[in-house]
């Protein structure tokens, strides 16, 4: 999900000049874009050594931390925006991290692979776990320890008193607003405390 | 084979006031520089040393082929801190025993060798002395100040005492203060030295002896804490220095005082080597400086409040198996900087070597520092 077109789509959700915390920032491409094109500042959090190095090379401030250990280092509402782009599906404590995202940031932006995208449904109907461009892993060898759907996330957000201020799907680098739960391989939510 | 380094000496006649209220009236600092200071004097990097190192950071001495500086793998032409690009300065701290004024020198007030009377110096005092040296070298601003362990404390202290003079601080395997366990290890080392009959209350020079036994034990305990359990087991395990007889025979010698295990042999070797060159009073002074360092002290223990004075950008690095200066301690510094909204990058290198890792060749670590210095290059010169 570091294609430039997707980065642009996500960046549009981030107000200009925001102070951003990007949880699971990967190689720092999105933060780099936000710094260059939207006047943002902030930090990425990343665990992988190669990604940490890539961030330093790009000039993105990165903190090498394990998100499963929580966000206690960060103060309440200390960021304008907290990003969780393709991170949720790797987290053991996904629900806690969602609450933490809303605690640390005035807004949270969450994106993850939508398991209810129709090719995935079709695969499961045929009795097999999906292997697609968006979910390219075999079931026995995947870093994604959670699979969820667009519709599932709405329920989880509601359960945690989080208000969804914007949501859409992304498919083939385009925004999907009509029936995203079936038509988009990526789910995107912007949320804040109720 | 590294490049040739040349130690230099700068004499200071104006007294240096110390944190304790005392002062050093007249002193000399030993230092080395590598690379060239550029025309706008914007490429200076100060490297601060830890307990038993010196101003000899990199390079070799002309007449001594195996005299590489203590951070020669990090600093030099084409290395992570590239001396083709940076003007690098290493300074031997006051009270040390490698050329700067220390306990083995004469006190100008009495004409006697200082010995135990050398005033207690702190990290802050060292930083002040380093700042004076930089003044003399015509370096107003440091592109970066960098150090590991106690050297990292000096780098952190620089950002507090001279915030406007520091662009970046690279703080490796360090801590915002020592915890009780760390002070305890220092105390064991100090007791070993002080209770050595050859110590003579710190005035052993006039007796023509050196408290080598104490120094050896101090070094042995230090070495244990610089390594990790895993590395010690991998390197030495339970292997014996020499197998007696056949594999089937009992290899133990059933002695209590001979060296039997390899780890004993290693520690004794390290202790012996150390006691040949290190000064006992210096060991006491430097471990005390470690104990005292605590920038949050004047802020009710609130490190974030203490670090509000910083203006520098930070690279913090820790090593997963370092239990003497654990990652949690670096994360404390990080947290305090985050609360002040300072620019900070933090890397936690998964290395097996314990505290020693900061001096070793880990490609992830060396390339991280290299990339960070390339970034400093872009930010400080643009």
Among B328, B348, B367, B374, pick the best mutation site for testing chain A contact (most A Cβ within 10 A): B348
Find the length of chain A.
Answer: 194
Residue spans of alpha helices (H) in chain B: 123-137, 150-161, 180-194, 212-226, 229-235, 262-277, 280-292, 303-306, 327-339, 363-381
Mean pLDDT rounded to a whole number for chain B: 95
Given CB atoms, is B364 within the 8 Å cutoff of chain A?
Answer: yes
pLDDT band at B379 (very low <50, low <70, confident <90, very high): confident
Report pLDDT for B250: 81
Is the pLDDT at B244 greater than 70? The verdict is: no
Token look-up 């925004």 returns: A175
Nearest to B375 among A49, A56, A74 (CB): A56
8 Å CB contact of B372 and A52:
no
Cα–Cα nearest to A112, from A52, A154, A69, A57 = A154
pLDDT digits (tens, 9 = 90+) for B56-108: 999 999 989 889 999 999 999 999 999 999 999 999 999 999 999 999 999 99
DSSP code per residue over B273-339:
HHHHH--HHHHHHHHHHHHH--GGGGGTT-HHHHGGG--SEEEEEEETT-SSS-HHHHHHHHHHHHH
CA-to-CA distance for B293 and B186, rounded, in angstroms?
13
3-state secondary structure A48-94: CHHHHHHHHHHCCCEEECCHHHCCCCCCCCCEEEEEEECCHHHCCCH
> Is B322 a residue of the active site?
yes
Cα–Cα nearest to B283, from B178, B155, B206, B187 = B187
Mean pLDDT rounded to a whole number for chain A: 95
Nearest to A56 among B339, B350, B372 (CB): B372
**DSSP state, B100?**
S
Tell me the residues of chain B between 330 and 359 that have a Cβ less than 8 Å away from chain A: 331, 334-335, 338-339, 341, 343-350
Distance between B308 CA and the closest CA of chain A, angstroms = 16
Helix, strand, coil distribution of chain B in percent, nearest 5: 40, 15, 40
Is the pLDDT at A121 greater than 60? The verdict is: yes
Cα–Cα nearest to B124, from B204, B243, B21, B251 = B21
CA-to-CA distance for B53 and B70, rounded, in angstroms?
7
CA-to-CA distance for A104 and A175, rounded, in angstroms?
27
8 Å CB contact of A53 and B364:
yes
Report pLDDT for B204: 97
Nearest to A49 among B331, B338, B364 (CB): B364
pLDDT band at B248 (very low <50, low <70, confident <90, very high): low
Strands B16-17 and A186-193: what pairing? Answer: unpaired
8 Å CB contact of B344 and A43:
yes
Strands B142-148 and B166-172: what pairing? Answer: parallel
The more confidently predicted of residues A7 and B245 is: A7
Distance between A56 CA and the closest CA of chain B, angstroms = 6
pLDDT band at B290 (very low <50, low <70, confident <90, very high): very high
**DSSP state, B61?**
B
8 Å CB contact of B375 and A52:
no
Is the pLDDT at A1 greater than 70? The verdict is: no
The catalytically annotated residue of B168, B322, B353, B356 is B322
8 Å CB contact of A43 and B347:
no
CA-to-CA distance for A182 and A62, rounded, in angstroms?
35
Nearest-10 Cα torsion for B272, B276, B281, B285: -70
Report pLDDT for B247: 60
Q: Number of helices (H) and strands (E), helices first, in chain B?
A: 10, 12
Report pLDDT for B2: 84
8 Å CB contact of B347 and A64:
yes
Vertex B149 angle, CA B145 and B155, to 5°? 20
Q: Alpha carbon of A174 to those of A9, A37, A102, A188, B57: distances in Å? A: 8, 20, 26, 12, 55
CA-to-CA distance for A185 and A86, rounded, in angstroms?
12
Taking contacts as CB-CB distances below 8 angstroms, the residues of chain A near B343 are 61
pLDDT digits (tens, 9 = 90+) for A140-189: 999 998 899 999 999 999 999 999 999 999 999 999 999 999 999 999 99
Give bridge partners of residue B64 from the DSSP assignment.
B61
CA-to-CA distance for A2 and B261, rounded, in angstroms?
54
pLDDT band at B246 (very low <50, low <70, confident <90, very high): low
CA-to-CA distance for A119 and B92, rounded, in angstroms?
67
Taking contacts as CB-CB distances below 8 angstroms, the residues of chain A near B345 are 55-56, 61-63
Average pLDDT over residues A56-64: 97
8 Å CB contact of A53 and B367:
yes
pLDDT digits (tens, 9 = 90+) for B336-361: 999 999 999 999 999 999 999 999 99
Average pLDDT over residues B40-44: 96
Q: Identify the three-state secondary structure at position B140.
A: coil
pLDDT band at B245 (very low <50, low <70, confident <90, very high): low
> Is B355 a residue of the active site?
yes
The catalytically annotated residue of B149, B174, B228, B318 is B149
CB atoms within 10 A of CB B180: 7
CB atoms within 10 A of CB B247: 6
């Amino acid at each position: 999900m570091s294609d430039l077109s997707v980065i642009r789509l996500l960046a549009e959700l981030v107000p200009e000049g925001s102070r951003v915390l990007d949880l699971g920032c990967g190689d720092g491409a999105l933060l780099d874009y936000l710094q260059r094109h939207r006047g943002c500042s902030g930090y990425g959090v990343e665990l992988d050594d190669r990604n940490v190095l890539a961030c330093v090379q790009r000039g993105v401030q990165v903190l090498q931390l394990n998100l499963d250990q929580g966000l206690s280092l960060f103060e309440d509402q200390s960021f304008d925006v907290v990003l969780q782009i393709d991170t949720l599906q790797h987290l053991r404590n996904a629900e806690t991290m969602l609450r933490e995202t809303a605690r640390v940031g005035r807004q949270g932006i969450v994106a993850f692979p939508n398991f209810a995208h129709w090719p995935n449904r079709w695969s499961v109907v045929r009795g097999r776990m999906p292997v697609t461009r968006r979910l390219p892993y075999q079931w026995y060898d995947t870093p994604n320890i959670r699979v969820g759907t667009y519709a599932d996330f709405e329920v989880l957000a509601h359960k945690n008193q989080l208000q969804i201020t914007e949501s859409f799907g992304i498919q083939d680098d385009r925004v999907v607003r009509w029936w995203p739960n079936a038509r988009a391989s990526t789910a995107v939510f912007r949320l804040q405390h109720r | 084979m590294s490049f040739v380094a040349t130690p230099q000496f700068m004499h200071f006649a104006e007294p240096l006031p110390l944190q304790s209220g005392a002062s050093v009236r007249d002193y000399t600092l030993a230092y080395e520089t590598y690379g060239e200071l550029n025309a706008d004097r914007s490429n200076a990097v100060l490297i601060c040393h830890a307990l038993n190192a010196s101003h000899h950071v990199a390079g070799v001495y002309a007449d001594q082929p195996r005299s590489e500086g203590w951070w020669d793998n990090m600093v030099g032409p084409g290395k992570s801190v590239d001396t083709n690009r940076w003007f690098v300065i290493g300074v031997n701290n006051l009270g040390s025993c490698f050329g700067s004024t220390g306990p083995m020198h004469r006190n100008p007030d009495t004409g006697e060798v200082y010995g135990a009377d050398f005033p207690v110096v702190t990290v802050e005092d060292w930083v002040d002395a380093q700042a004076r040296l930089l003044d003399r070298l015509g370096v107003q601003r440091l592109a970066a100040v960098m150090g590991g362990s106690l050297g990292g404390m000096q780098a952190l202290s620089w950002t507090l005492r001279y915030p406007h003079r520091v662009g970046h601080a690279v703080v490796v395997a360090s801590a915002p203060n020592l915890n009780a366990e760390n002070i305890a290890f220092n105390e064991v080392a100090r007791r070993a030295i002080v209770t050595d009959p050859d110590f003579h209350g710190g005035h052993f020079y006039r007796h023509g002896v050196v408290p080598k036994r104490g120094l050896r034990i101090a070094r042995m305990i230090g070495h244990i804490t610089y390594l990790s359990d895993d590395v010690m087991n991998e390197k030495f395990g339970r292997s014996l220095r020499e197998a007696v007889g056949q594999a089937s025979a009992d290899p133990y010698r059933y002695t209590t005082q001979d060296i039997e295990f390899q780890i004993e042999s290693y520690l004794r070797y390290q202790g012996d080597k150390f006691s040949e060159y290190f000064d006992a009073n210096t060991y006491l002074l430097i471990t005390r400086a470690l104990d005292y360092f605590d920038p949050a002290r004047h802020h009710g223990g609130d490190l974030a409040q203490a670090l509000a004075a910083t203006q520098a950008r930070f690279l913090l690095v820790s090593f997963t198996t370092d239990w003497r200066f654990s990652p949690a301690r670096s994360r404390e510094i990080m947290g305090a900087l985050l609360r002040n909204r300072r620019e900070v990058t933090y890397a936690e290198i998964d290395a097996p070597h314990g505290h020693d890792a900061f001096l070793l060749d880990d490609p992830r670590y060396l390339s991280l520092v290299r990339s960070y210095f390339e970034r400093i290059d872009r930010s400080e010169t643009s």
